Amino acid sequence: MLPEVSVVIPIYNGENDLKDLIDCLYEQTYPTEKVEYLLVNNNSKDNTENILKRLTEKAKLDNFPLFYLSENEIQSSYAARNKGIKQSKSEIIAFTDGDCRPNRTWLENLIKPLAKLDIGIVVGEIIALEGDTILEKYAEFTETLSQKVTLANPFCPYGQTANLAIRKDCFREVGLFRPYLTTGGDADICWRILRETNWQIEFAETAIIKHRHRQNIKELKKQWQRYGQSYQYLHELHNIPLKSDFTNQETLYRLTRWLLKEIPVNTLKLMLGKSKIVELIRTPLDVICFLEMTKGKKASKLPENAREIEYLIDN
């Protein structure tokens, strides 16, 4: 007996991703009569709204459970997710994002652990969507968004909303996502559930999402600045220890070691077919990421309204 599931997907400026994303939803092995896909437009500035309206109209003709919602009051993916949760019909809510591509069996495998009555959160795996740019290859090589990393967090495990399922009962107990939080809400909701209730978390490694990674340095810097901002926000919300700043001395040491040791060794390996080109430039990219994370952390202070928690009121 498969449970009914609501899949909530916030969309912001997603015109380049929507077709591929929805194609993946059509291909899911989960029975269509047991699922609803709720795409929540979060005040997009591009052609997302028109595309969503057109695709949901097509879905009606196809008898496919794809629905379009809007969250235009609060510019935050967490506010958009809250809109989807409140509109959902199911007791299980699954999450992914507009720049993700779920494998065909994603939803089916993500839901399986919830057969255990003590499991409140299920975390699926995130791997890189194959790309041609060196930065996409770097993200794939370093497993940038792997949930194995977040589940091993020393403070408390968590999963990223790019691939996550949560029972609605969890939201009833601790509230919804903080609607004015702009980053870090994935960890925050998981930590509130795991630290304030008896619900448990489980990893569904075969529930796989492919994530489209950043393609240029500007996007990469913004991504890692946001990670730094997230650490600062979670420090203020949960008193987690902050990671040490990445210093100029460490930058100099890493780059010197790269020039004198890593480049000669990896060049030889590359010539022998035992290495990849991305390994030649991993260190300077690592340095850029760590420096941007430090910059984001130093420049951030949690806005007071980001502490607010929205609560689920059943109809």
CA 99 – CA 96 distance, rounded (Å)? 9
Region 128-138: mean pLDDT is 84
Domain ranges of the chain: 5-215, 217-308
Region 3-16: mean pLDDT is 96
CATH topology of domain 5-215: Spore Coat Polysaccharide Biosynthesis Protein SpsA; Chain A (3.90.550)
pLDDT for the residue 246: 85
Contacts (Cβ under 8 Å, ≥6 apart) of 56: 39, 66, 67, 68
Place of tokens 């090589």: 141
pLDDT for the residue 130: 82
Would you say residue 137 has pLDDT above 90? Answer: no
State what percent of residues in the chain have pLDDT above 90: 82
Highest mean pLDDT: which of 25-34, 122-131, 235-244?
25-34
Radius of gyration of the chain (CA): 20
pTM comes to 0.93
Q: Per-residue pLDDT tens for 46-81?
A: 999 999 999 999 999 999 999 999 999 999 999 999
- Cβ-contact 120, 200 below 8 angstroms: yes
Q: What's the mean per-residue pLDDT of the chain?
A: 94
Would you say residue 315 has pLDDT above 70? Answer: no
